[in-house]
Amino acid sequence: MSNGLTFAQLRATRPVILPSMLLCDFGNLEREVRAVEEAGARALHLDIMDGHFVPNITYGFTIIEAVRRVTELPLDVHLMITNPEKYIPQFVESGAGLISIHIEAVEDPRPLLEQIRSLGSAAGLVLNPPTPVSAVEPYLEACDYVLAMTVMPGYGGQKFDESVLSKVRELRAMLPPEVLVEVDGGVSAETIAACAEAGAEMFVTGSAIFRTPDYAASLVELQRLAQVNR
Ligand SMILES: O=C(CO)[C@@H](O)[C@H](O)COP(=O)(O)O
Ligand SMILES: [Fe+2]
């Protein structure tokens, strides 16, 4: 079974803009996936919410499998769920090439990160805006990427939290270059350059793609703004 490009292949093409399918038209899921792919997306972000870890409920394996059937793009699956340890193999089987778990959802993320890697997917650790970098620091060597939430998770279309930029900077400074920093929440043409400047190289964008009339134009502009000379 292939889950699209490997993380190493994706990393080689950074900065990477990841459209968040949460904001797409689910009545036309296949068309939306193809539209962002044709617009130039190189990976997609899928938000799994359980109504427990976060107040909102989204979707599960069926939708990931449906997306997997219509595209070869790597699927970055963001787990906003309690007890993620119960489901990792099933997420990999559904087509998740990248899986991120919240530090706030588990006591010890290490076994899960190792399990994700051992099953052939890339492992990410997520921290909410109020969570300090020190909470994830002991586990960084088990990560392929670290996701700094720039909103409280649960909904698309929220306002970007600028105070997280200092955390992005801190993470970038302590991580080896092959471990990427991802940002998620309120990332748009207005905020993406500041994220890139701070060291982010993976950018989740929901409204900034799906709430615009021309996905390709939005992606090109976001990609341009995410390009910084470091
Ligand atoms: O994880 C989440 C929200 O919890 C995100 O992935 C959002 O879906 C991104 O949407 P925008 O903030 O870009 O509209
Ligand atoms: Fe997300």
Annotated ligand binding at 184? The verdict is yes
Active-site residues: which are they?
Answer: 47, 184
- pLDDT at residue 229 in the model: 65
How confident is the model over 84-126, as pLDDT tens digits? 999 999 999 999 999 999 999 999 999 999 999 999 999 999 9
Dist. CA 108–CA 106, nearest whole Å: 6
- Torsion from C-alpha of 221, 223, 226, 230, nearest 10 degrees: -130
Angle between helices 29-38 and 61-70 (to 10 degrees): 50
Does residue 23 have its Cβ closer than 6 Å to ligand 1?
A: yes
Give 149 Cα–ligand 2 centroid separation in angstroms: 8
SS3 37: helix
Dist. CA 51–CA 16, nearest whole Å: 29
The answer to whether the beta carbons of residues 35 and 24 sit under 8 Å apart is: no
- Among the atoms of ligand 1, which is closest to the Cα of residue 158? 12
ipTM over 0.95: yes
- Mean pLDDT rounded to a whole number for the chain: 97
Given the candidates 1.20.1250.20, 3.40.50.300, 3.40.630.30, 3.20.20.70, the CATH classification of the domain at 7-226 is: 3.20.20.70
- Among the atoms of ligand 1, which is closest to the Cα of residue 149? 1
Compute the Cα dihedral for 199, 154, 142, 140 and give only its sign. Answer: positive
Mean pLDDT for the stretch of residues 169-189? 98
Q: Which two tokens stand for residue 188?
A: 């748009």
Domain boundaries, the chain: 7-226
